[in-house]
Amino acid sequence: MTCKQYIIIILILGALATISPFSIDMYLPGFPAIAQDLDATIAQVQLSLTAYLVGISLGQLLYGPLLDRFGRKNPLYVGLLLYIVASLACAYTESVDSLILMRFVQAIGGCVGMVAAQALVRDIFPVNKTAQAFSLLTLVIAVSPMIAPTVGGYVTAAFGWHAVFIILAAITALIMLGVYFALPEGRQPDTTMSLKPKPVLKNFISVLKQEQFLLYALAGGIATAAPFAYIAGSADVFMNIYQVSEQTYGWIFAFLAFAMIGSTQLNHVILNRFTSEQVINFTLVYQVLVGVLLVVGTYYDWFGMYTLIILLFVFLTGQGLLNPNATALSLAPFTKNTGSAAALLGSFRMAMGGLMSAAVSVLHTGTTLPMVSVMAGCAVVGMILLLLGKRTIRHRASKRAVEEDPSVLVQVSQD
């Protein structure tokens, strides 16, 4: 593989992986305009984001087996085509209910890019180059939340919110052409693989029986859902309450996205001195403290816009520390069924993200309080689940040790 081919392949894979992040973030500056044009409330428009997150959650579980059974490209073409059609339907919709439905369909199609990109990295690159390829892919994905709302803000201001979905459809059509002409086929179809529900469910159940996975998937999944509450509520908070323009909101969003990106890079340095478990414990404690400050300060109207932005930046910094460490500890016990575990983990996180964004919509009061309350609640519940889960695992481990060797009980009582 030449250097030119390598760059082209990475760019195409990166573009595939960023379809869903762009779809989540790029239309956020258009929330007020969408609500006005479709004669809907901001809370109803926020449900279109929830629908997208639910679609990603379900789609990840769907495409894993399909990409193995039918090869990489055929399911990819189907998913991307579905995304394009749904995007155009979003652009020309005349009701908020239709928008919500089409966003769900759009997510089912678009999330194939996330799953296929990771699978193709493993297929195309040799083992000694895989980590490097994943690092470049991660960097491309990480930058997208900084770019998408800023671009979306300028597009919405210049051409209206409909243009955002037309642009997303056009970009995805170009990505499809790149996949067809420049991307290798990857792994061949596995005709022996069964798509029947029973064996697929059996793998998932065996993963869920692993205590460490369950602990960090639940605690980490709920704690890392906080940014989705922020994403769902931030357009209303900054554009309706603080009256900033679409372009300014895009820059605020980019600044706060940097909090998560920067701390992700900082995590590599921190892990040289501390374990993933220690990082998670510390991060949850400080997020709970900052979250409580956000809720109390918002309730008593202590904060202006700039103070709010600073506190949100501090809170969101924790996501760059929580996410990779919770993922690593969730998947650490597996030498097989890693794919099923990763699919379950990703699906649960997106489902929690959808639930938290829905909570912001349901609790909508026209103030900042619903957004910061749900964010703080994620950190509090995550910490409680982690503490209770660890205690339960230790209790079960001690019980098993006593059953295997009753002398252990005597030794403990003597101590």
Domain layout of the chain by residue ranges: 1-185, 209-408
For residue 413, the model assigns a pLDDT of 37
For residue 383, the model assigns a pLDDT of 93
For residue 411, the model assigns a pLDDT of 43
* Distance (Å, whole) CA 303 – CA 292: 14
* Distance (Å, whole) CA 87 – CA 83: 6
SS3 259: helix
* Distance (Å, whole) CA 338 – CA 285: 30
Contact (CB, 8 A) for 260 and 227: yes
Mean pLDDT value of segment 100-108: 95
In this model, does residue 230 exceed pLDDT 50? yes
In this model, does residue 415 exceed pLDDT 70? no
User: 3-class secondary structure for 169-196?
Assistant: HHHHHHHHHHHHHHCCCCCCCCCCCCCC
* Distance (Å, whole) CA 50 – CA 57: 11
Residue 202 CB neighbours (<10 A):
12
SS3 411: helix
- Domain 1-185 matches domain 209-408 at the CATH topology level: yes
Query: Of 292, 265, 280, which is closest to residue 224 (Cα–Cα)?
Result: 280
For residue 171, the model assigns a pLDDT of 95
Q: Which whole-number Å values give the CA distances from 388 to 221, 291, 392, in the listed order?
A: 15, 21, 6
Return the structure tokens found at 133. Answer: 């390829």
The mean pLDDT of the chain is 84
Phi/psi of residue 186, nearest 5 degrees: 80, -160
Mean pLDDT value of segment 122-137: 66
In this model, does residue 207 exceed pLDDT 50? yes
Mean pLDDT value of segment 6-21: 86
Burial of 72 (0-12, 13-18, 19+ CB in 10 A): buried
For residue 409, the model assigns a pLDDT of 41
For residue 138, the model assigns a pLDDT of 64
The helix-helix angle for 246-270 and 226-235 (nearest 10°) equals 160
Contact (CB, 8 A) for 44 and 96: yes
Which string of DSSP letters, residue by residue, matches 282-314? HHHHHHHHHHHHHHHHHHTT---HHHHHHHHHH
For residue 6, the model assigns a pLDDT of 80
Burial of 242 (0-12, 13-18, 19+ CB in 10 A): middle
Burial of 222 (0-12, 13-18, 19+ CB in 10 A): buried
Mean pLDDT value of segment 89-116: 93
Superfamily of domain 1-185: MFS general substrate transporter like domains (1.20.1250.20)
pTM over 0.95: no
For residue 406, the model assigns a pLDDT of 52
Burial of 273 (0-12, 13-18, 19+ CB in 10 A): exposed
* Distance (Å, whole) CA 60 – CA 343: 6
Is the dihedral angle over the CA atoms 150, 96, 111, 265 positive or is it negative? positive
Superfamily of domain 209-408: MFS general substrate transporter like domains (1.20.1250.20)
Q: What is the pLDDT of residues 76-97, one digit of tens each?
A: 999 999 999 999 999 999 999 9
For residue 161, the model assigns a pLDDT of 95
Return the structure tokens found at 228. Answer: 């989705």
Least confident among 188-192, 213-217, 271-275: 188-192
Q: Which residue has the higher pLDDT, 134 or 311?
A: 311
Q: Which residue has the higher pLDDT, 412 or 60?
A: 60
Residue 178 CB neighbours (<10 A):
16
Q: Residue 132's Cα: distance from chain center in Å? A: 22
Q: What is the pLDDT of residues 306-359, one digit of tens each?
A: 999 999 999 998 888 888 788 778 877 876 666 567 777 777 888 888 889 889
Mean pLDDT value of segment 185-202: 75
Q: Which residue has the tokens 């495409």?
A: 63
Q: What is the pLDDT of residues 271-296, one digit of tens each?
A: 788 888 888 899 999 999 999 999 99
For residue 247, the model assigns a pLDDT of 86
Burial of 110 (0-12, 13-18, 19+ CB in 10 A): buried
SS3 14: helix
Q: What is the pLDDT of residues 398-412, one digit of tens each?
A: 665 545 555 444 443
Query: Of 334, 247, 338, which is closest to residue 64 (Cα–Cα)?
Result: 338
Confidence band, pLDDT 50/70/90 cuts, at residue 397: low
Return the structure tokens found at 171. Answer: 């970009």
Contact (CB, 8 A) for 119 and 71: no
Q: Which residue has the higher pLDDT, 247 or 39?
A: 39
Q: Which whole-number Å values give the CA distances from 291 to 189, 226, 263, 371, in the listed order?
A: 48, 10, 18, 11
